[in-house]
Structure 1
């Protein structure tokens, strides 16, 4: 065959065109992997093919997209776009856009002001401020035009809709089922705070107050059929207490930043996660939010990009949130009561083991707090409490899911009765600790510093809060000397603990027969892992002798 013929044959049998995947498709893969961490790449590939055109990315692409940081943090992207066209300084532009969103209702923001603020963030954001002065861009009108185009800045648009007027409720909520209406709210939690007034004063002073606080984001629908896994925000990216812990087993989501508060970056990630949960359930939900600045900025940006495909966001008007936000009607308070109950029982157990133990609260670590907080939300807060709080909030007073005898029901009274029961339990447990100067239950459950308030900040305070988001969360926050790293449990120790638990169960008059099956199954899994580890060691030893 001649060289010319060979070249013709080669060109006629060219490789198939490379498949280009959109940002939306990549995000779907990434979100699915985050929600199903145990799935293999073949299972992910099959899921994608079944829900699309039959084509699916290969193993290397799936692996790469799983590891990549989601485009919810600082990037602006369009779902059908094949390649992201972003500026050269994405963090600066994201900070500038957030500043614009938070300030545009106060003053007229001109192009010159945006250029001036671009310089301000250049010299203050940690990733740029130490660069040579010669590397700072000129912030020209050309850059300004491209920035405004990337972020869709033209004029202020009041996004979302207010849930206030009866007409709005009738049009938007009347025909929605209870399971389609959601509310999310954040609260701070001083996770080491005890009922001892003198200790609390010490714990909530200065640096310790900041270190012992985390933020919780709780969300549920009106009939409590979908209590979303909680999100927690701390200060440490990798807390010492999380060493050797598989975070996928925690039953919650953990994020961190320098302030341990909800920020726009995290809120965007939360909303995309929630939107995906609704999409896989083929549900279009009404999502009620207060006007916290992080909420506003995140929703506006995602709505402009068309990412909230299964979520309709409704904002409470300022001034009515305290009366009409369901989470504020007793749900968060009940969750805190269950959390404090877990904590106080733990302190009681510590003192039972060692009556001479001084300040046992210092042995509580973040893993304890996250575990108790998740358990308090998942198993503690009752469905009836959530349902009554939604009724009490009156976000919907008629239509599907609302009982005909609503006027005969007293959701407010039922919520108070549930809280009184919890408060009585807390007082009983607190009494067992022999506290000399106890806090009032109201102070323990409604501490003023745990309320997330988005008060009217000054421009400088807004700038500082934005800059803080871009300071990387600390790898490990400095902890108390008394903090003890979590013990690593061996396979043999786990089997011994299971046997001991089984013996305890058999000795109880009301022992559960089904517990034996659970113990046997778990023991079998541990023994298989122990056997496999032994085989690996044996293979290593055999290989060593062969080399000799």
Structure 2
């Protein structure tokens, strides 16, 4: 007779088996399905309270429920970890070690000396993993966000249609920045030139429905770059200052030009912008209602920051890499030089490639749309804007 093969189930798998047992499925049927003995299924049922406790605590991967020998320290450290992370404070392994020793001393256990391996087991027990901190969401004022969305935004929203609601934001492009990492043969030394810091600032604006993408406003350092000499017109609006930054003067000029154009078309819009110093409260606008997002909320409330700018840079990065490859094919010694005109053409092309549904989804992701009652668009995917190559051309 062939003996049953021993199998270890994860907490997640045990939780699923428990649910099926409680729904009336028999021990023998489950044992046969998973190729284990009846006693294995019976043991899972016997330990259901501990399994459910771990399952509800999101501890899903371990196959054995190992409790710490210092349970009071373990639980105190876990509660401290939860409270500290809820405040948005980064926590490292050494911080956990130090705090565990503090708790041990408070519990009258001076001989306890927290090791790195104890912390490793602690992280496994409680499904704690390492993650990279990104964005500015940890500094967001949650109460201001909620109050604005529930009190200010509904009043603004009802006055304008989806086609009349716009968001605008500027971003920097280090348009000559080459990859800072490379594939290489094993043992080969890596060397290269300095990373370029030449930048352009680009003002991006689009409406909520994604049907209108305003012509880009690009700010460079040179008033008349040499590469513009043979060009009759640019696909973008261009201005300059010494640092290629957005200023309050440039913002007001851009806004008033847009307002005059809307007056001619007899259109009125709502424009949402953040409250940075470069965005003054421009008065006497005839067709634009200017509304400012609350301080410390733009990383979650501003649609452009929810993926539109990232998608723009992803598209530009691909254009840049293709141009580099073409330059290498034409000139074996070095990649093609990128001019401001090249950058403008590639940025404009990247802007044209952003889809209507991407823009609409980003407005929805910012909380500015409650239902999909206007467009038959797909839900935003978790990796919606991760469709990038593996070259870290940070822009």
Q: TM-score of the superposition, structure 2-length normalised?
A: 0.57
Look up the match of 2:360.
387
- Quickly say closer, same or farther: Cα 1:309–1:163, change in 2 above 3 A: farther
- Quickly say closer, same or farther: Cα 1:240–1:284, change in 2 above 3 A: same
Equivalent position to 1:317, from 275, 294, 306: 294
* Structure 1 position 221 matched with structure 2 position 194: no
Distance in 1, matches of 2:343 and 2:326, equals: 16
Q: How does 1:338-417 map to 2 (within 5 A)?
A: 338-354=315-331, 356-358=332-334, 360-361=335-336, 363-378=337-352, 380-397=353-370, 402-403=372-373, 410-411=379-380, 413=381, 416-417=382-383
Post-superposition Cα deviations, 1:489-518, rounded to whole Å, max 9, x if no partner, equal: xxxxxxxxxxxxxxxxxxxxxxxxxxxxxx
- Quickly say closer, same or farther: Cα 1:200–1:286, change in 2 above 3 A: farther
Q: Secondary structure at the match of 1:377?
A: helix
Residue 417 of structure 1: how far off its partner (Å): 4.0
Distance in 2, matches of 1:405 and 1:179, equals: 12
- Quickly say closer, same or farther: Cα 1:164–1:369, change in 2 above 3 A: same
Contact 1:194 1:200 (C-alpha < 8 Å) held by counterparts:
no
Look up the match of 2:385.
419
Which moved further from structure 2: 163-172 or 175-184?
Answer: 163-172
Q: How does 1:130-529 map to 2 (within 5 A)?
A: 164-197=148-181, 203-204=194-195, 208-209=196-197, 212-246=198-232, 248=233, 250-296=234-280, 299=281, 302-303=282-283, 306=284, 308-354=285-331, 356-358=332-334, 360-361=335-336, 363-378=337-352, 380-397=353-370, 402-403=372-373, 410-411=379-380, 413=381, 416-420=382-386, 422-423=387-388, 426-427=389-390, 439=392, 444=393, 447=394
Flag structure 2 segments of 5+ consecutive residues without an equivalent. 1-145, 183-189
Residue 340 of structure 1: how far off its partner (Å): 1.0
Post-superposition Cα deviations, 1:142-200, rounded to whole Å, max 9, x if no partner, equal: xxxxxxxxxxxxxxxxxxxx981412222221342110100000000000112233899
Contact 1:163 1:315 (C-alpha < 8 Å) held by counterparts:
no
Flag structure 1 segments of 5+ consecutive residues without an equivalent. 1-161, 428-437, 451-548
Distance in 2, matches of 1:193 and 1:344, equals: 10
Structure with bigger gyration radius: 2
CA RMSD of aligned residues (A): 2.6
Look up the match of 1:121.
none
- Quickly say closer, same or farther: Cα 1:283–1:201, change in 2 above 3 A: farther
- Quickly say closer, same or farther: Cα 1:268–1:410, change in 2 above 3 A: same
Distance in 1, matches of 2:374 and 2:147, equals: 22
Q: TM-score of the superposition, structure 1-length normalised?
A: 0.42
Look up the match of 1:55.
none
Distance in 1, matches of 2:256 and 2:162, equals: 22
Q: Secondary structure at the match of 1:164?
A: helix
Distance in 2, matches of 1:243 and 1:221, equals: 33
Q: Secondary structure at the match of 2:214?
A: coil
Contact 1:233 1:254 (C-alpha < 8 Å) held by counterparts:
yes
- Quickly say closer, same or farther: Cα 1:163–1:233, change in 2 above 3 A: farther
